[in-house]
Amino acid sequence: MPNVLVVDDSAVDRRLAAGLLNKGTMLSIETAENGAAALARMKMSEPDVVVTDLQMPELDGLALIKAVRIRHPRVPVVMMTAHGSEDLAVEALESGAASYVPKTQLAEKLLDTVEQVLAVSRAEHNYDRLADCLTRCDFALHLENDSSLIDPLVDVVQKMVEKMKLCDATGRVRIGIALEEALLNALYRGNLELGFEQMQEDRANLLQGLSMGLAEQRRDQLPYSQRKIYVKVQMTPDEARIVVRDEGPGFDVAPIADSDDPTALARRGGRGMVLMRTFMDEVSYNDCGNEVTMVKRKESHETSSTAA
């Protein structure tokens, strides 16, 4: 039976929310009078979902949401918002809340919202259990020339690295950065054939929501518009092997093939090449320079401790 923790400094509102959640469903309801009391209760036993008011003494709802995200990352939080607290609601969602219900609509929406959040949370939990059983992961993607696809792919690969227990949190971040740099190079320097300064301008415009100039034009022009980025990921508990290939003209790889000098690498390939060579155990290119293979091997306990 799913357990719901209702947090509100008003005894009347606590009873109201608990009563609504008890109607026509199989939920176990517990209550707490503020965020501090909720965290103390959660330390003894984690609920399946927290339903909290925002404005409370000692530890308010926003602080509770942030604390739950750090201490109990698997537990989703649903906010109950009073009229006039819309800005706080947005801040709470940005801080990690799963959903919200205005207090004026509790009777109509609270139960449905909690059940929706519980269903999604159960699916995520089952995914985590299944992912923990992974012994090998092998997939390939053909990506359009769209920079918005890069972050989701990096996130997926980092999650797989975590499940395979290849390295610690710092190592996962480093793998993510190396992959992001390889994908950005494939997109801008490879398929769209942009110079370094043009690439930087495009990325800055993207962050500011501005027109992306030459990069945007080339996405609709031949031959750039027909090119793809090919990504292949092979992962086991011992090794991650990532191949990124673009359909651009490539570059002369001979000067960097055997170079371990970061200064020389930076001159020829930019910051991205330095990061890839530093963060991965092996980085190699095909003969024409439009395909990079990156390898990261399992970190030993000693290596992780030293890196930390």
pLDDT in tens, 213-255: 777 788 889 999 999 999 999 999 999 999 999 999 998 877 6
Mean pLDDT of 117-137: 78
Strand partners, 143: 229
The class (CATH top level) of 137-307 is alpha beta
Q: What are phi and psi of 83, to 5 degrees?
A: -60, 135
Q: 3-class secondary structure for 17-53?
A: HHHHHHCCCCCEEEEECCHHHHHHHHHHCCCCEEEEE
Mean pLDDT of 32-56: 94
Between 17-31, 166-180, 209-223, the lowest mean confidence (pLDDT) is in: 209-223
Mean pLDDT of 143-169: 90
Spatial distance between the Cα atoms of 112 and 149, rounded to a whole number of angstroms: 32
Q: Would the CATH topology of 3-129 be identical to that of 137-307?
A: no
Task: Domain ranges for the chain, please list them.
Answer: 3-129, 137-307
Q: Reply yes or no on whether the pLDDT at 303 is more than 50.
A: no
- Range with the largest mean pLDDT of 85-89, 123-127, 274-278, 299-303: 274-278
Going by the DSSP 8-state scheme, the letter that residue 220 receives in this structure is T
pTM attached to this predicted model: 0.60
Mean pLDDT, the chain, as a whole number? 85
Quick: pLDDT tens for 256-288.
Answer: 655 555 554 445 446 677 788 889 999 999 999
* Residues listed for the chain: 308
Q: Reply yes or no on whether the pLDDT at 184 is more than 70.
A: yes
- What's the CATH number of domain 3-129, 3.20.20.70, 3.40.190.170, 2.60.40.10, 3.40.50.2300? 3.40.50.2300
Q: Reply yes or no on whether the pLDDT at 121 is more than 60.
A: yes
